[in-house]
Each structure stands twice: as structure tokens, then as C-alpha cells.
Amino acid sequence: MRLALAEAAAAGAADDVPVGAVVLDPSGELIGTGHNLREATADPTAHAEVVALRAAAAARGEWRLTGCTLVVTLEPCTMCAGAVVLSRVDRLVFGAYDDRLGAAGSLWDVVRDRRLNHRPEVVAGVLAEESQELLDGFFARHR
């Protein structure tokens, strides 16, 4: 999570919402990193999770990230939760809950929907305070 927090700080420094993500392979090796790049790329899909999942898939040379863990500082939105399911990530670890857009237990629970073909393990609230502080500081400066 500390690596994901560093990615989130990089997003904040680039004037984007400070969310960061990393992907670890089954042995724990870092194979993908990402932070929000929506402002820099004018891409509405450039969320930290999507950026990190794309990097991990490129590193592995395949889209299936079976056995991998996605660590992200903020609970994924519906788009990102869908990407977690579709990429076959085995474990999702996140920091702060997102009561407004969260899709891993807060508002929706896409990642554990029994109708879907894949349901990763979810570990929530890891370093949640640090994650939330980055977000609170960013939005306090922008309001």
C-alpha cells in the first residue's frame, strides 16, 4: 500500500485526484503501477486501477492477471471494479472507502456479485487514514 500511496501522491502533484495503484504478481513482485492520469491524458478511463492493470498485463504479456493482487488507495468505482473482475485479479486490496462511487462494498459490490464469473478476495481499509488524508487535502485545495 505504501507504493500505491506514493503513486497517489504523484497524481496529486500533477493536479489529478490522488489515487494510486500497484499490481503484484503471485510471488509478490511489482509488475504494474499507476495513478490517475485523467487530467494529463484527457482520458476519462485513465483511473489508477486501469493504468496499473494495463501495465501489469503488458508486463505479463497477457490480459489474464490470475494470481495477482491489485492494491489501490481508494475503493474502485464501477468501471474499475469491472476491470478487476474482467482481468481475473485474485485479490483486491484497497485503502479508503468511497461512499459516493465505491463498487467494492460501499455503494455497490460489483467485485463480489455472484452473477459474475470471477470474484476476487477483497481486503478493505488498509492504511485507510493515509489514503483519505491525501484525498481530503487535495479536495480542500480545490474547493
Considering the domain boundaries, does residue 142 fall inside one? no
143 band by pLDDT with thresholds 50, 70 and 90: confident
Domain count along the chain: 1
Instruction: Identify whether 29 is a catalytic site residue.
Output: no
Is 35 annotated in a binding site? The answer is no
Does a structural domain hold residue 114? yes
CA–chain centroid gap for 127, Å, is: 14
Helix axis angle, 48-60 relative to 78-87, nearest 10°?
Answer: 20
For residue 58, being part of any structural domain is answered with: yes
Burial tier of 28 (Cβ tally within 10 Å: 0-12, 13-18, 19+): exposed
Q: From the candidates 29, 49, 75, 130, which is the catalytic residue?
A: 49
pLDDT of amino acid 8: 98
Determine if residue 47 is labeled as part of a ligand binding site: yes
143 in a domain, yes or no?
Answer: no
CA distance 46 to 52: 10
Q: pTM score, two decimals? A: 0.96
Residue 24: give its domain's CATH number. 3.40.140.10
Q: Is residue 141 part of a domain?
A: no
- State yes or no: 68 annotated in a binding site: no
State yes or no: pLDDT of 128 exceeds 90: yes
Domain that holds residue 37: 1-136
